[in-house]
Structure 1
Amino acid sequence: MTLPMPPQAVLFDLDGTLVDSAPDLVGALQALCAEIGAPPPDAEAVRTVVSAGGRAMLRRGLPQPDEATVERHLPRFLAIYAERIAEATRPYAGIADFLDRLEAEGIAWGIVTNKPGWLARPLVERLGWAGRCAALVSGDCLAAKKPDPLPVLHACGLAAAEPARTWFVGDDRRDIEAGRAAGTPTVAAAWGYLDGGDPATWQADLVIAAPSGLSALLGRTGG
C-alpha cells in the first residue's frame, strides 16, 4: 500500500508519537517508588516502554514485580500521573507546525490511543487540542483497543475519512498492526519510544525519523 497524496485525514498515536509524555510518567513512577520505599527506577529503561502502558512501566520500574504487585500499584501510579499529567509533557519538535499545516490545508486529524479516556482527555485539553482534533479515540471507549483495527476505523468515521485515504502514524508495532488491519496506510514514527523494537521490521508503509519528515512528505502533494 502507498500513502495517498493528499490524505483525507491523518491519525496519530498519542504518547511517543504526538507528545513526549515520558517525563511526567517517569516522574510519577519515581514518586510511587519513593512512596512505597522501592529503589528509584531506571528512567531510560522505563522510557522505552511508555507506549506499552502503565503495567509495562511498572514491570520495568519496580524491583522484581509479579503481576499481583503490578495490579496493586497501578491505580496509585495512575493517580499520581493524573496530578502531573502535563507538567513536562510537550509535543515533539515539528508536530505543532505539522498540525497547523494539516488544518490550513483542510485535512482532518485525530488521535487513536490506548490511554484511558480519563487521562487522554485532560492531556489533550491541556495541550490545547480538544477543539481541534476531529477524533479522540481512547483505549476504553470501545470494545477493543489497538492492535485491533476497531479504534482506527472508528476514528476514520469520526473524521469522515475513508481508511484507504487516511494515514495512521504510530511509534509502536501495535499501531502499525491496527492500521494495516483497518486498511489505512501506515507510518512508523521512529522518533518515539518504540518499545525496544525496530520499526523497520513492522511492515509499515513508511518509516520516518522525525516529524519534519511528515511535513516534507505532505509537501509532495502540491498542497
Structure 2
Amino acid sequence: MKKLPTKSMLPKAVLFDLDGTLLDTARDLGAALNNMLARRGREPVSYAQYRQIGSDGANGMLALGFPELSSTERLALREEFLLEYRQQSHDQSVVFDGVAPLLSWLSEHNILWGIVTNKPEAITRELLPGYPEFNQSAVMVGGDTLSERKPHPAPLFYACEQINVVPQHCWYVGDAERDIIAGNQAGMQTVLAAWGYLLANAQTADWRPTHVCFQPQDLLQLLHSKHNM
C-alpha cells in the first residue's frame, strides 16, 4: 500500500512563488509605476503603498496608480508597464535574507526546488540569471506558461510533472492568498511566507496554510526539524 504523506514527512520537492517570497522586487515594480505616473504629471506612490501589493504584479501596480480607470482601461497600460519594468528589473531587487541558505540546504539534501510565479515567463527568464542563488532551480513556471495561472492549481501540477514528483510529496511556499489556494487545491502542504507582501489587515488564518513562517530561517528550521525526525 502506498504511504500517504503526513505533516511530519520531509517533502521531496519545494516550489516557491517568486515576488515577495524569494526575491524582493517591490522597489523595481514601484519605480516602473512611478516613472509612468511622472510622464503623466501625477504624484508618485510611496514605498509603503506599493510594497504591500508587490505580489499582484503589473495588475496590482496599475490599479494602485490609476484607480479611476476600469480594468479594461488599465489593461491597455500593461505593456507599457512591463516594458518600463524590464528596463530596470535588476536595479533594486534583492534576494530576501535567509533565502540563499534555505535553497542551499534543499540542494544539499537532494530535495528538488523550483519556482512557480504569475510573473510572465519571458520576464522571469530574463530576471533569474542575475541571481546565482537560483542556479539550482529544477523548474520554472511563469504566469503565461499555461492558459491557467494561480490561484488555479494547474501551474503547480505542471511543475510537479516536470520534476517527476507527485503533488502530495511537495510543499508550496508563497506570500499571497492565491498561492495558498493553489497549493491547497493541488493537495500540497502550503507555507505562508509572512515575510512577503502582505496587506496589514490580511486575514491570513482564513487562507488555511499548513505552516506559517515569518522569515526564511523559520522555514529552514522547520525542514531541518523534519529531517531529524
Which of 84, 95, 108 is equivalent to 1:80?
Answer: 84
TM-score, L = length of structure 1: 0.94
Listed as ranges, the gaps of 5+ residues in structure 2 are none
The CA deviation at 1:40 is 1.0
Matched to 1:216, the amino acid is Q
Partner of 1:222: 228
The CA deviation at 1:185 is 0.5
Tell me if structure 2 keeps the 8 A contact 1:11–1:169.
yes
Tell me if structure 1 keeps the 8 A contact 2:103–2:133.
no
Report which stretch shifted further, 118-127 or 57-66: 57-66
Alignment of 1:103-118 (within 5 A): 103-118=107-122
Partner of 2:136: 132
Task: Please state whether the residue corresponding to 1:53 is helix, strand or coil.
Answer: helix
Which of 33, 36, 57 is equivalent to 1:32?
Answer: 36
Partner of 2:208: 203
The CA deviation at 1:169 is 0.4
Distance 1:2 1:34 in 2: 52
User: Percent sequence identity over matched residues?
Assistant: 38
Task: Please state whether the residue corresponding to 1:85 is helix, strand or coil.
Answer: coil
Task: Please state whether the residue corresponding to 2:132 is helix, strand or coil.
Answer: coil
CA, structure 1 residues 129+212, in 2 after alignment: closer, same or farther (shift >3 Å)? closer
1:45-94 deviation per Cα after TM superposition (whole angstroms, max 9, x unaligned): 22211112211111112353333441232211110100111111111110
Tell me if structure 2 keeps the 8 A contact 1:152–1:179.
yes
Matched to 1:139, the amino acid is G
Report which stretch shifted further, 110-119 or 29-38: 29-38
CA, structure 1 residues 191+37, in 2 after alignment: closer, same or farther (shift >3 Å)? same
CA, structure 1 residues 3+90, in 2 after alignment: closer, same or farther (shift >3 Å)? farther
Name the Cα RMSD after superposition: 1.7
Q: Stretches of 4+ moved more than 3 A in 1?
A: 1-4
Matched to 2:207, the amino acid is W
Tell me if structure 2 keeps the 8 A contact 1:9–1:107.
yes
> How many residue pairs end up in the alignment?
223
2:77 corresponds to 1:67: no
Distance 2:47 2:67 in 1: 13
Matched to 2:194, the amino acid is A
2:196 corresponds to 1:192: yes
Distance 2:31 2:186 in 1: 35
Partner of 1:143: 147
TM-score, L = length of structure 2: 0.91
Distance 1:35 1:4 in 2: 53
Partner of 2:126: 122
Tell me if structure 1 keeps the 8 A contact 2:28–2:88.
yes
Listed as ranges, the gaps of 5+ residues in structure 1 are none
CA, structure 1 residues 218+63, in 2 after alignment: closer, same or farther (shift >3 Å)? closer
